[in-house]
Amino acid sequence: MNAPLRGPGNNFVGQSVERLEDMRLLRGQGLFTDDVSRPGLVHAAILRSTVAHGWLRGVDSAAALALPGVVAVITAATMGAKVPAIPMRLAPLDELEPYWQPVIAADKVRYVGEPIAVVLAESAAIAEDALELLVAEIEALPPVVDTATALADGTLLFEAQGTNLAVLYTAQKGEAQAEFPGAYVRREKMDTQRHTATTMETRGLLAEWDATTEVLRIHGASKVPFASRGMLAKQMGLPETSIEMIEVDVGGGFGMRGEFYPEDFLVPFAAKHCGRPVKWIEDRREHLLACNHAREFDCDLELVCSREGDILALRGTVNGNMGAYMRANVAVAPRNVGQFLSGPYAVPNVHVEVRALLTNKTPTGTYRGPGRFEADFFRERLLDLAADDLGIDRVAFRRRNLVKMAEMPYPLATVTPPKKEEKLDSGDYVMTMDLALAELDWDAKLPLQGKLIDGRYHGLGVACFIEGGAAGPRERARVELVEDGTVAVYVGSTLVGQGLETVMTQIAADAMECSMDTIRFFHGSTTYVSEGFGSFHSRSTVMGGSAILLAIEELRQRMREAAAARLGCKAEAVRLEEGRAVAPGGGALSWAELATAGLSGDGVFHNHTHTYAYGAHACHVAVDPRSGHVEVVDYVAVEDVGRMINPLALQGQIVGAVVQGLGGVFLEHLVYDAEGQLLTGSFADYLLPTATDYRSIRAVAMGVHTGAVGPLGAKGAGEGGIIPVGGCIANAVAAAFSGKVQPMSLPLSPSRLWAMIEAAG
Amino acid sequence: MRDVAFEVNGKACRVAVEPRTTLADCLRHDLGLTGTHVACAHGVCGACTVLVDGEAVRSCLTLAVQMEGAAVTTIEGLSSEDGLSPLQAAFRKHGAVQCGFCTPGIITTMHALLTTEPHADEARVREVLSGNICRCTGYMAMVAAVLEARAAYQGAPA
């Protein structure tokens, strides 16, 4: 197991320390974006397209401007000759630039919800009233809502491009398209439905332009404030140093929040335009319409196995319904579906083509476990079908094919673009599966499988996963000894509601060999460090935590040197204790006294490889064939994250992620009609899990096989809990009906499952 | 504008509001009590729950003008500067807070439940809690926290 990071003093790392941020959050003292106000505040509301696809012929704002209290109306015309577009932050390709989203519709609208105009008014209510008075003239075109229509290229979103296929990713390894004489082949079409993160706090921004100092200050930045600052600076024609992104409390991230959206330009632009602070708070309907959607993929895949049960090849095509534009991080999910289809299994030959297709729906982006949730559903379903056909127990089939420790590092398929090689780093994959089965009491429950008991069929499911983490390129931290004897820690990582302050403080206190109270933690805002890369791809702990360790190492050296100069001894002879620097002769200085020398340390942690946390889920379901309702009787999630910093916080994230995954399996569906209208615009029709839905969700988190990235040995975590849920549950449902019902499509809502049960007779 | 006089967290207050102003907006923007959060504004998620004369009420579906003469308690009124209440402390101990945005509405709702039903069992806790949406925790830790906090309400005057 893990040795203490720095002994013999502290060992906060690895302890379930109560979270620091809870003290304010539990007492209503958090500071979220809408809690920030400014004198002279102007409120923004956004007119959005009600048509999925059409030519925008003009916006009549005369009546809105006449309404008392309206300050201004901004349209594309306000921006002058060229409307800025939103660049891609992750996996950008030059050839995708034509598909970037303009920050406001100029000549064409491509999805319901696309911004057309911004109203600024003295109150939020007046701004919303004024929206009713704006008239957008739109000449409707036929909408493209599904991937089949998009592929046919009969209607094009971008006429000049001649295709709706934005990019094709190919995952390649070995010779998957070869003939495999005598082999078993199973081919299936499957799909996952459009749903998304749906954070409890909607998005919001407060922007103010200080004309005297020429500084644009923006509250509500999150996730990647430095990247967003760079994009905004370019769009606004300002130097980056003129923009301050301020991070406040964040009501949930899950990949959705903090990517660059049209409003991230429109609200700052409005503030500079009208010379007053501007606040925009998204409402829930807007959120469901305008935030990145996710997860809408369909596939046609073949799994090739030997008759003995060795996986030989995985091949086929996947279509991603990416929505109307290639925005910010839209490329991540389709790339990941290709990358993660083989998951934790040894698959010698892979050839999978993933098409990122444009449709007249809300643009997509990452949602916790992007591409991995989808890929796991497709793969784990195929594994059960193959095992059943081959007459092999599905646990034995998995045990046979999981990558073994001796095979690490194990090469995954290479995805092109960008043609970067990926390897599974470390782990005992079979161990986590066996543990999940033992925790569920699999063997004892097996006799229930397929049985009708008190009107319900019982089934068990198992699924395995890998979770990528620790995205580079680097993270930066600065630590300062403060004159009151505390240590200020600044890092470029960001808070998205994941307990970052606590985890980072644990790491810093261990390294400083001081109490957690002595650490003061500052993060995220662009005013603290010169650059930062934020919180995505489960990277904050590994990257930010490692940068903090490096910075503290430097600070402690400076402290020894400063103490030595004043105490008249050699630096290496100085002993640092909590709050004191002690010379061998007995002389000592307090940290407060040392701080007058202005001591600090900087750390930059570079990394270009990924960590792979991994694990397995097992579940027991009971299905009522009369209603299609599935009760999740028990659910166990096991994950090895290399090193646990805070086990309680980690377990909480795993349980939370499983329940989000169950929402995606049973409840959550962004439903569109044939005209491209979103039909699920409230929490009354977009259903999220509630406390009565899933009563027994258990997480077993462990730190056994450390990651190779950084001194912590931690692997990125927090997303893993959602990844295998679709495959695990669908496999259990299939097992409950002894294979006569085979879910190939999510969600497994009662009506859809009931129809499948009826069809199976 | 209409004048409305009511009590908030034990203090008398009088505000002038438009008739259409919700209690949530009045508390947050007129009275500066930003601990009450608005997450859906259509009465489904429970994030904005406050106590009106002791009953858990959705402040996004309540108009401020309806509060004439009422006693309103918000999360600020259930909190002290010194530390955490037993219910809040149980949430912290069990890891029942992640992003914290839904938390004030859940604390107010569970406080109302345990005040009137200090012996509520797990099924009852889940039933009442199901009126509040949390996107982070999956509820398991919350249920454990509420069950543990019952002890602090048992024997106290309802």
- Does residue A249 belong to the interface with chain B, where contact is any CB pair within 8 Å? yes
Strand B2-8 and strand B71-73: the pairing is parallel
Q: Is residue B51 part of a domain?
A: yes
Instruction: Name which residue leads in pLDDT, A3 or A47.
Output: A47
Residue range A609-633, pLDDT digits in tens? 889 999 999 999 999 999 999 999 9
All residues of chain A having their beta carbon less than 8 Å from the beta carbon of residue B33 are 28
Q: Which of 3.30.365.10, 3.40.190.10, 3.40.50.150, 3.40.50.1010 would CATH assign to domain A371-412+423-470+609-760? A: 3.30.365.10
State whether B100 and A26 contact (CB < 8 Å). Answer: yes
- Does residue A23 belong to the interface with chain B, where contact is any CB pair within 8 Å? yes
Q: Is the pLDDT of residue A2 over 60?
A: no
- Does residue A32 belong to the interface with chain B, where contact is any CB pair within 8 Å? yes
Looking at B78, B98, B127, the residue that finishes a domain is B78
Distance from CA of B113 to the nearest CA of A (A): 15
- Does residue A19 belong to the interface with chain B, where contact is any CB pair within 8 Å? yes
- Mean pLDDT for B82-96 is 97
- Interface probe for B, chosen from A43, A196, A200, A634 (most Cβ of B below 10 Å), is A200
For residue B56, the domain's CATH number is 3.10.20.30
State whether B97 and A22 contact (CB < 8 Å). Answer: yes
Q: Is the pLDDT of residue B58 over 70?
A: yes
Select from A197, A648, A695 the Cβ nearest to the Cβ of B126: A695
Distance CA A653, CA A16 (A): 13
State whether B38 and A34 contact (CB < 8 Å). Answer: yes
**pLDDT computed for residue B25 by the predictor:** 98
Distance CA A605, CA A548 (A): 9
Distance CA A559, CA A567 (A): 12
Domain boundaries, position B28: 2-78
CA of A502: which chain B residue's CA is closest?
B98
Select from B91, B96, B101 the Cβ nearest to the Cβ of A251: B101
Q: Are residues B74 and B8 in the same domain?
A: yes
Tokens of A524: 């995220």
**Would you place residue A340 in the very low, low, confident or very high pLDDT band (cuts 50, 70, 90)?**
very high
State whether A250 and B98 contact (CB < 8 Å). Answer: no
CA of A38: which chain B residue's CA is closest?
B29
Residue range A452-481, pLDDT digits in tens? 999 999 999 999 999 988 877 889 999 999
- Does residue B134 belong to the interface with chain A, where contact is any CB pair within 8 Å? yes
Q: Are residues B72 and B9 in the same domain?
A: yes
A169, β-bridge pairs? A354
**pLDDT computed for residue A9 by the predictor:** 57
All residues of chain A having their beta carbon less than 8 Å from the beta carbon of residue B96 are 652
Q: Are residues B70 and B120 in the same domain?
A: no
Whole-number percent of chain A with pLDDT over 70: 99
Q: Are residues B10 and B65 in the same domain?
A: yes
Measured CA angle at A414 (ends A413, A418), to 5 deg = 155
- Mean pLDDT for A105-124 is 98
On whether the CB atoms of residues A692 and B136 are closer than 8 A, the answer is no
Measured CA angle at A228 (ends A101, A84), to 5 deg = 35
State whether B101 and A684 contact (CB < 8 Å). Answer: no
Q: Is residue B123 part of a domain?
A: yes
- Does residue B95 belong to the interface with chain A, where contact is any CB pair within 8 Å? yes
Where do we find the tokens 């007249």? A360
Q: Are residues B14 and B69 in the same domain?
A: yes
Select from B40, B74, B135 the Cβ nearest to the Cβ of A252: B135
Distance CA A497, CA B136 (A): 8
All residues of chain B having their beta carbon less than 8 Å from the beta carbon of residue A16 are 95
Q: Are residues B100 and B61 in the same domain?
A: no
Select from A18, A35, A652 the Cβ nearest to the Cβ of B98: A652
Strand A697-702 and strand A629-640: the pairing is parallel
Q: Is the pLDDT of residue A361 over 80?
A: yes
State whether B35 and A28 contact (CB < 8 Å). Answer: yes
Distance CA A276, CA A408 (A): 58
State whether A249 and B100 contact (CB < 8 Å). Answer: yes
Tokens of A447: 């006799």
Q: Are residues B58 and B114 in the same domain?
A: no
Say whether A371-412+423-470+609-760 and A22-30+472-606 share the same fold. yes
Strand (E) or helix (H) holding A659: helix A647-662
Strand A311-321 and strand A349-357: the pairing is parallel
State whether A30 and B139 contact (CB < 8 Å). Answer: no
Residue A146 exposed, middle or buried by CB count within 10 Å (0-12, 13-18, 19+): middle
Looking at B35, B51, B78, the residue that finishes a domain is B78
Quickly name the fold that domain A22-30+472-606 has: Aldehyde Oxidoreductase; domain 4 (3.30.365)
State whether A649 and B38 contact (CB < 8 Å). Answer: no
Strand order, beta sheet including A54-60: A108-109, A54-60, A135-140
- Interface probe for B, chosen from A21, A25, A680 (most Cβ of B below 10 Å), is A25
> For chains A and B, what is the number of CB pairs under 8 angstroms?
179
On whether the CB atoms of residues A463 and A395 are closer than 8 A, the answer is no
Distance from CA of B18 to the nearest CA of A (A): 10
State whether B138 and A692 contact (CB < 8 Å). Answer: no
CA of B34: which chain A residue's CA is closest?
A35
- Mean pLDDT for A147-168 is 98
Distance from CA of A655 to the nearest CA of B (A): 6
All residues of chain B having their beta carbon less than 8 Å from the beta carbon of residue A202 are 39
Return the percent helix, strand and coil in chain B, to nearest 5: 40, 15, 45
Residue range A490-501, pLDDT digits in tens? 988 887 777 889
Q: How many domains does chain B have?
A: 2
State whether B34 and A35 contact (CB < 8 Å). Answer: yes
State whether B100 and A690 contact (CB < 8 Å). Answer: no
For residue B130, the domain's CATH number is 1.10.150.120
Q: Are residues B57 and B92 in the same domain?
A: no
Distance of CA A554 to the CA centre of its chain: 33
**Would you place residue A712 in the very low, low, confident or very high pLDDT band (cuts 50, 70, 90)?**
confident
Which positions 69-88 of B are in contact with A (Cβ < 8 Å)?
74-76, 79-80, 84, 88
**Would you place residue A5 in the very low, low, confident or very high pLDDT band (cuts 50, 70, 90)?**
very low
Residue range A523-574, pLDDT digits in tens? 878 888 888 887 777 788 888 999 999 999 999 999 999 999 999 999 999 9
- Mean pLDDT for A19-37 is 97
- Does residue A498 belong to the interface with chain B, where contact is any CB pair within 8 Å? yes
Query: Domain ranges in chain A?
Result: 22-30+472-606, 371-412+423-470+609-760
Q: Are residues B55 and B94 in the same domain?
A: no
Q: Are residues B53 and B113 in the same domain?
A: no
Q: What are the start-end ranges of the E strands in A252-332?
A: 278-281, 297-305, 311-321
State whether B127 and A692 contact (CB < 8 Å). Answer: yes
**pLDDT computed for residue A285 by the predictor:** 97
Looking at B22, B54, B78, the residue that finishes a domain is B78
Q: Is residue B107 part of a domain?
A: yes
**pLDDT computed for residue A716 by the predictor:** 84
Q: Is residue B158 part of a domain?
A: no
CA of B19: which chain A residue's CA is closest?
A125
Q: Are residues B7 and B38 in the same domain?
A: yes
- Interface probe for A, chosen from B135, B143, B146, B147 (most Cβ of A below 10 Å), is B135
All residues of chain A having their beta carbon less than 8 Å from the beta carbon of residue B103 are 25-26
**Would you place residue B38 in the very low, low, confident or very high pLDDT band (cuts 50, 70, 90)?**
very high
Distance from CA of A455 to the nearest CA of B (A): 22
State whether B42 and A34 contact (CB < 8 Å). Answer: no
Cis peptide before A417 (omega within 30 of 0): yes
Cis peptide before A743 (omega within 30 of 0): no
- Does residue B6 belong to the interface with chain A, where contact is any CB pair within 8 Å? no
Distance from CA of B83 to the nearest CA of A (A): 8
State whether B133 and A200 contact (CB < 8 Å). Answer: yes
Q: Are residues B62 and B119 in the same domain?
A: no
Q: Is residue B24 part of a domain?
A: yes
On whether the CB atoms of residues A501 and A23 are closer than 8 A, the answer is no
